[in-house]
Homo-oligomer: A and B are copies of this chain.
Amino acid sequence: MKNMIPVAMSNRHIHLSQEDLDILFGEGYQLTKMKDLSQPGQYACEEKVDIVGPKGTLKGVRILGPVRTHTQIEISVSDGFVLGVKAPTRDSGNIEDTPGAKIIGPKGEVEIEKGIIVAARHIHMHAEEAKQFEVKDKDIVNVKINGPRGLIFNNVLVRVSPSYALEMHVDVEEGNAAAIKNGQMVELIK
């Protein structure tokens, strides 16, 4: 089948800067890889933290590695209600004017000023695949999901990089709204 892409659901998670990791887990702390993710070099860690917002707490939020330049928390819309923050839908890395929170680790706490987003649905792909699908980096496409909860996601961002493996990412609410199973094939339509 043409233009088929595997899809994966992302649960809430956090990316930490080394500076914040040091405060939360101790100076010079190294993250412990639990398992590799589909994107090369990315991995889920054994370590978890609590995220505290004005209205409530998300306990045991998993850290994804490796460390990044800026700490970023990716949640669902429902998680935002639990925390009591209004997180905008954003592409990863675009955290200007987003809400912050308190992060609690085993060795310390960090208050971040910004960094909470609802991740915009997107497709990772390699340049070879972009060529095959006739799309380019930053294109906005549509993706069709079949089945009893079938739907067409509009506003799906294409992200092309030599370091990416082909995969569409949605959050848990988007996945459940479409009754998606991880690894299911979905169709890119333009």
Contact = CB atoms under 8 A, between A and B. Distances in A.
A103 B15 CA distance: 40
Interface in A109-163: 120-121, 148-155
Contact of A155 (B120, B150, B153, B173): B150
Contacts of A179: 77, 89
A contacts with B: majority SS: mixed
A37 interface: no
- Range for the number of chain A residues in contact with chain B: 20 to 34
Number of copies: 2
B152 A148 contact: no
Interface string A27-42: 0000000000000000
Nearest to A171: B177
B149 A152 contact: no
21 contacts: A76-B176, A78-B172, A78-B173, A78-B176, A89-B148, A89-B149, A120-B148, A149-B155, A149-B174, A150-B154, A151-B152, A151-B153, A151-B154, A151-B155, A152-B154, A170-B177, A171-B177, A173-B173, A174-B177, A176-B177, A177-B177
